[in-house]
Amino acid sequence: HDKWLCMMTPRLKLLRELLAEDGVICINIDDIEVARLVNLMDEIFREENKEEIICWRRRHNQPNDKSKAISKVAEFIVVYAKNLEYLKTRKAFQGLPLTGDFSNPDNDPKGDWASKPWKSGSNQTGTSYRIITSTGKVLDEEWLGTEETYKKYLKEGRMYFPRGGDGFPRKKYYKFEREEEGQCAHNFWGHEDFGSNQEASEEIKTLGIEFDNPKPVRLIKSLLNIFSQKDSIILDSFSGSGTTGHAVIDLNKVEDGSNRKFILVQMTEATEKEPDKNICKDITRERIKRAIEKYDYDSGFQYLRVGQPLDAETLLKGKLPEYKTFAKYVYYLCTGENLKEEKKISEKKFFIGTFGKQAIYLIYKQDYEALTRMALNLELAEKIIADQTDKKRIVYAPACFLDEEYMEANQIEFVSIPYNLFQRKNQ
């Protein structure tokens, strides 16, 4: 358990930072670690931001395991918000059957309806006034709404008096209204409404893919229906067979004006026995690709591989990076965005790229000895000024031999490459 906690803690902290203020995290987990996960989530997300723990029946059949008194057919989905107060996306769920005994005994032109008491209960605060029933009986009680509201509902035909018009009034709510509003989801999700592992296996088999214990598209679509908006970005950091991506593009197709985007993250899970194993490429990517083709989704995706991380610490651990690799890292540090036009990188001109009204340069070589002698001097500055005449120049270099007055006059900003980066050869 301690290894599992050490693995999960930094990931959950990072995922919380990635969430929007009204964002939600949903974690599917079995009974073995659910208690520890909830404790961990209470610590990282705070207990007051717990939305609910959903029990999902993942199997539609009843296993007959003679070694156990109780067979396992369910898993849990732990749901927390980054900030429950800002959670604007909670809404009634359109896919659940409505609760309520709907009928139309009085031939109401608005159709089937159900009703609830207008009289306040013993633990409810009400408003006192007199109501006269359709038979003339006077009722002097506390009611759930004001007298003005009661008269409005009475005029609209929303008030129903049972027992031949002699009973306490009840407020009607119509079936068509509830269908438009949707039904608030509960925390037990049966396989009939939300799918099962068996259903999920059949879904990916139709695409020519096999994967152990996949999640059904219906399950993920249900979570998206409740907790996301039409333009949300959905991140699945353990994407497995890619069900989340499939659910997003399916929801975009059936829901008008929906333009959700997804980011799927998955390791290759290669081992010594299976060095060529690549779940991300062969399962996750392939499933989304085939789903788009088979179901004619008006959608697409990019398949990217994460490169080696570059930061001050990792740069000092091995050999210096190539110019192009380091240039892309510097561009991201400077702008917060990835460089799109890599072809424009020029080691000869020390040019990386532009960003708005800025031109970014890097004076650097993949050589420790050369780096100790490199600097932004007058000769290089004049070449840089001539290269980009209408932009501010941001120049990354090991050192600078220009005075502040010259740099200010020529719109040059110097940023130092850490000196310990090229001192390493002497260590």
- Domains, the chain, ordered by start: 2-94+184-294 (3.40.50.150), 113-181 (no CATH), 312-426 (no CATH)
Which of the residue ranges 86-95, 122-131, 406-415 has the most confident prediction, judged by mean pLDDT? 406-415
- The average confidence (pLDDT) of the chain is 87
Cα distance from N-terminal residue to C-terminal residue, the chain: 40
Alpha-helical (H) ranges within 25-124 are 34-41
pLDDT at 212 over 80: yes
SS3 sequence of 281-299: HHHHHHHHHHHHHHCCCCC
| Interatomic CA distance for residues 119 and 128, integer angstroms | 10
Which residue has 């599917």 as its token pair?
28
Sheet holding 159-160, edge to edge: 113-117, 170-174, 159-160
**C-alpha closest to that of 266 among 278, 280, 276, 277:** 280
- The token pair at 106 is 């009085």
pLDDT at 92: 56
Phi–psi pair at 39, nearest 5 degrees:
-60, -40
pLDDT at 98 over 80: no
- What is residue 183's DSSP assignment? B
Rounded to an integer, the average pLDDT of 342-350 is 92
% of the chain surpassing 70 pLDDT:
92
Angstrom CA distances, 288 to 38, 239, 259, stand at 31, 11, 17
pLDDT at 30 over 70: yes
Check if the beta carbon of residue 229 is closer than 8 Å to that of residue 89: yes
Check if the beta carbon of residue 95 is closer than 8 Å to that of residue 113: no
pLDDT at 310 over 60: no
Count Cα neighbours of 427 within 13 Å in the Cβ-side half-sphere.
10
**Least confident segment among 178-187, 220-229, 238-247, 256-265:** 178-187
Rounded to an integer, the average pLDDT of 214-226 is 94
Which residue has 């005075």 as its token pair?
403
Q: What is the DSSP code string of 374-419?
A: --B-HHHHHHHHHH-SSSEEEEEES-B-S-HHHHHHTTEEEEEPPH
User: Is the model more confident about 92 or about 43?
Assistant: 43
Check if the beta carbon of residue 345 is closer than 8 Å to that of residue 324: yes
pLDDT at 382: 92
Cβ neighbours for 164, distance < 8 A, ≥ 6 positions apart: 135
Alpha-helical (H) ranges within 157-227 are 162-165, 175-181, 191-194, 197-205, 217-227
Torsional class of 109: left (φ above 0), alpha (ψ -120 to 50), beta (otherwise): alpha
pLDDT at 312: 54
Angstrom CA distances, 186 to 177, 221, 405, stand at 20, 16, 68
| Interatomic CA distance for residues 224 and 181, integer angstroms | 17
Compute how many other C-beta atoms are within 10 angstroms of the C-beta atom of residue 145.
16
pLDDT at 181 over 80: no
Confidence of residue 183 (pLDDT cuts 50, 70, 90): confident
Rounded to an integer, the average pLDDT of 372-385 is 90
Confidence of residue 420 (pLDDT cuts 50, 70, 90): very low
Check if the beta carbon of residue 301 is closer than 8 Å to that of residue 242: no
pTM strictly above 0.85: no
Rounded to an integer, the average pLDDT of 68-92 is 83
- The token pair at 95 is 């896919």
User: Is the model more confident about 99 or about 162?
Assistant: 162
Rounded to an integer, the average pLDDT of 242-249 is 95
What single-letter amino acid sits at 165?
Answer: G
- What is residue 308's DSSP assignment? -
pLDDT at 316 over 60: no
| Interatomic CA distance for residues 240 and 324, integer angstroms | 33
| Interatomic CA distance for residues 383 and 410, integer angstroms | 12
Rounded to an integer, the average pLDDT of 376-402 is 90
**Least confident segment among 127-141, 207-221, 299-313:** 299-313
Confidence of residue 191 (pLDDT cuts 50, 70, 90): very high
| Kind and range of the H or E run holding 368 | helix 368-371
- Rounded (5°) CA angle 55-57-87: 35
pLDDT at 245 over 90: yes
- What is residue 84's DSSP assignment? G
Torsion sign (Cα): 6, 9, 15, 17:
negative
